[in-house]
């Protein structure tokens, strides 16, 4: 019986949240200073995105990989997303991004794949021979979201 009591999870409301009742909204500023905010939302969305080249061909070498980094940075800047970390290998790309709440991770991924494929295939002729049909990336994608919930 003592071990069951020790392993119990307690859900409790933090005492630190001040609540005002006279027309002022609820104020949850105590532990949310590192979150981004807009007019009506506070968010901390960090998806890890991964996509690979068609047939896992090692096409992202040298200038192509460097140009791909520039394209991904430009698209993220247009959508107000911030790249926290990232890596471009010879056959895959995986940025770790801090997204605004109005940008879906799937939309960000679609835009990056579509625009980068179009630009890279136009600028580098050897990619057209390796990836016929104007498809540089596979259709599949991987998105993982990281976060935590605490009672502080």
19-36 pLDDT, tens per residue? 444 444 444 445 666 777
Distance CA 139, CA 144 (A): 17
Contacts of 101 (CB under 8 A, 6+ apart): 38, 41, 43, 45
Given its phi and psi angles, is residue 68 left (phi above 0), alpha (psi -120 to 50 degrees) or beta?
alpha
pLDDT at res. 8: 39
**To the nearest whole number, what is the mean pLDDT of the chain?**
79
pLDDT at res. 134: 80
Tokens read off for 47:
């998806």
98: three-class secondary structure by DSSP: strand
Residues of the chain with pLDDT under 50: 1, 3-29
Tokens read off for 87:
């890596």
- pTM (2 decimals)? 0.73
- Identify whether the C-beta of residue 100 lies closer than 8 Å to the C-beta of residue 79: yes
Tokens read off for 90:
């010879």
pLDDT at res. 24: 41
- Phi/psi for 151 (5° steps) reads -100, 20
Tokens read off for 123:
């600028």
């Amino acid at each position: 019986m003592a071990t069951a009591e020790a392993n119990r999870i307690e859900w409790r409301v933090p005492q630190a949240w001040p609540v005002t009742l006279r027309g002022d909204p609820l104020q949850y500023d105590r532990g949310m200073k590192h979150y981004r905010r807009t007019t009506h939302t506070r968010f901390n969305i960090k998806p890890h995105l991964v996509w690979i080249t068609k047939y896992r061909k090692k096409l992202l070498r040298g200038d192509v990989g460097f140009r791909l980094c520039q394209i991904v940075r430009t698209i993220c800047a247009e959508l107000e997303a911030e790249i926290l970390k990232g890596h471009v290998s010879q056959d895959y790309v995986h940025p770790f991004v801090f997204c605004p709440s109005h940008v879906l991770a799937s939309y960000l991924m679609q835009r990056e794949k579509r625009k980068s494929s179009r630009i890279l295939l136009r600028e580098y002729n050897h990619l057209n021979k390796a990836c016929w049909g104007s498809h540089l990336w596979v259709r599949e994608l991987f998105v993982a979201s990281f976060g935590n919930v605490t009672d502080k």
